[in-house]
Structure formats: structure tokens, C-alpha cells
Amino acid sequence: MMSAEKTVDLGQVQDIDVLNLSSLEERAKKVIGQGEFGYISEGSDDEYTKKRNTSAFNDVHLVPRVLQNVEEPDQTTEFLGRKLSSPILAAPIAGNTLAHESGEMGLAKGTKEAGVMMAQSTFASKTIAETAAVSAGAPYMFQLYMPKDWGYCKYLLDEARNAKASAIILTADSTLGGYREADVLNHYHLKGKIANLDGYNTGKDGVGAGGLFAESMQSLNLDLIDKLAAYSGLPVIIKGIQHPADADAAIKAGAAGIYVSNHGGRQLDGAPASIEVLPAIAKVVNHRVPVIFDSGVRRGTNVLKALASGADLVGVGRPFSYGLALGGWKGVAAVAEHLKMEINIAMQLTGSKTIEDVKNIQISHDLKF
């Protein structure tokens, strides 16, 4: 992002111990407000898809190789020309100040220290420029909820370009929000105005996420890919792909990447787990563009299963918010480092020296002995 890191106040930070990513949820619940925790943790409707995102990984089995002369696996990788310490992405989540006062700035600092990529949401609680000041050149992407107001959209794209974003991620699965009952029970609405509105005159004061969602474009089409790429000069990745035909159509329309995700089970309940649709989508993509994957990742073995199923970069969402709540940027870094440790063990035990080796691991639904 920016060339030199500025000294900013990132709030209270502390080292945290991470037993595993799933255990962070109950710990974070004790330090996040009830409404805020409900917003972060919830899925839509009956939360079937949210739960299936994680449980479906149990139906995918890694087939290990032995005597492969592997010692000290190397999980470094490149994505869009940026070198990463691990194929991990801090997936875009709205309003990170719900978890910690530093918000996206804490997320940027933690991911920078861990050497992994982050993506910032349009609905962030810190501006793109504020995050850029902390990230100081670290790998970064900007996730766009397409506004109805093209002037505001251009402002966001300008800010992302100035922050040296590697790509624009156009979210296509959220033309409106899923029905989330925790918010109803808690009488909760995402608080505060959206920070990225501060530098753009919308004529509306104190517009929160709900208001901005109402101003987001509901009728999305393939023509937007070229429009966004032409204006921004940046690669455009389409997020929310769950069907192979949509992946193929997006690539033919100019998409520079495919992001397989069901929004962590927060949108259409009853949809399959992301890991269940990933292999078919990756087969259609056929290495024409990189593939990002998220939803339900809680273990290093989950990361390997996603990579072996066709992903190039694997996103993690809620656990980073929980780490942020518990320790500020140090908590974010601790989550990343714990996941990297689990990945290292899994790589060693599957006989995988590099991430390319991981991508060639045989998995249970693709066995050809």
C-alpha cells in the first residue's frame, strides 16, 4: 500500500495463546458486546450452510504420501505477483471496530507482521487510506459492494488504486442481506457510519451499513467487470461464485480471478458448503485465472484440502475478528501464525515440500490409484 509505515494508535494489544481457531469464538464472546458478537458470528436463517461449511471438510480426505524426502516444508507462495509467507487471506469482514478499536488498521498490522494478504470491505470501519498508512506496502485487496452511485464507486476505486491494492474484489452474492435472526433477537443494527463515506460527499450524514446496503446495486451483470477494470486499471475478481457456469461466464467477461464463497453462510441458507462446489468450479476455471476460496476454514488441514481441490489462496474470516478482539493486531498475527503451524504439520505429514506439491495431493473424491 503506502511506501512508509506511519505511527498510529492501534489500541490495546496483547499476546494471545491459540489452541485452535474454533476455540477463539467462545473466548471472544466474553469481550465483544452481545449485539456485536451476534452480528459477527451469525449465519442466515437456520444456519445450515454456515455449519455445513465446516462439517463438509470432514467428507474430504487427504491421501498422504511417505518417503518423499520432505523436511521443513515451504508454504510460501505468490498471488497476483505478491510473495506471501502462506496462502492465507484475511477475508473481508465489515466493521472490524465491533471487535476492537483498531478495526481494519489492527487487521492490517497483524497480517503484515504474519506475511499474509488481507482484503478490506467497502463496509470497513476505517478508511482505505487509514488502513494503507498501517499496511505500508503489504499485500492488500479491496472488496467492493457495487454502489448505485457511480461517483461514489469511482471514489472507492481511486482510493484503492492510491493504496496500491493488488485487485478489486466485486462481491456478487450480496445484492441484499440474508435473514439473520441474531440481529433480530438482539435488536441490532451495524453501528456507526461507514468510514469510506467520510471522504465522499453523499449528502447523507451518519449513513451506516444498512443505509449503504440500501444504496448498493441489486441488479448486477457481467458488463460491470469490464467497467470496473477499465476505470481502476486493476484486476477484478468476482466473489460469491458457487456455480461452474458463473465462473466460466465471469472469466469470459474479463474477470481476473474467481472467488468461491457463500459468504460464510450469511446469505442463502440451504446452499452447499463452499468446499463441496470448489472442485467443479476449479475444473471449469482450468488455471485460466487464480481461484480464491473461503467459508468454514478452521484448520490447517482445511487449507490443504482447499488447495488440493483447486484453490490458490484460502480466506479465513471470523477467526481473525476473534483474534483481533482478544489481542488487537497481536491477536490477528497469532491466529495467522497458529494456522501456519498447522499447515506446516499437515504438509510434512502428506509429503508436501511446497504449495505446488499440496495442490497435487490426492483427495478422497479424486482417487485414481
Residue owning grid cell 467497467: 227
What is residue 62's three-state secondary structure?
strand
Encoded amino acid at 38, one letter = G
Cell of 352: 508436501
Q: How many CA atoms lie within 13 A of 138 on its CB side?
A: 25
Residue owning grid cell 489500541: 11
Q: Residue 142 pairs with which residues in a beta bridge?
A: 120, 168
274-285 and 48-55 helices cross at what angle (nearest 10)?
A: 70
365 catalytic, yes or no?
A: no
By the 8 A CB rule, do 273 and 52 touch?
yes
First to last CA, the chain: 46
By the 8 A CB rule, do 281 and 241 touch?
yes
By the 8 A CB rule, do 352 and 71 touch?
no
DSSP letter, residue 136: T
Among the listed residues 61, 263, 287, 365, the single catalytic one is 263
Residue 56 backbone dihedrals phi, psi, to 5 degrees: -65, -25
By the 8 A CB rule, do 322 and 25 touch?
yes
Residue owning grid cell 508454504: 75
What is residue 179's three-state secondary structure?
coil
Distance between CA 272 and CA 249 in Å, rounded? 21
The CA-CA-CA angle for residues 300, 301, 302, to 5°, reads 90
Residues designated catalytic: 263
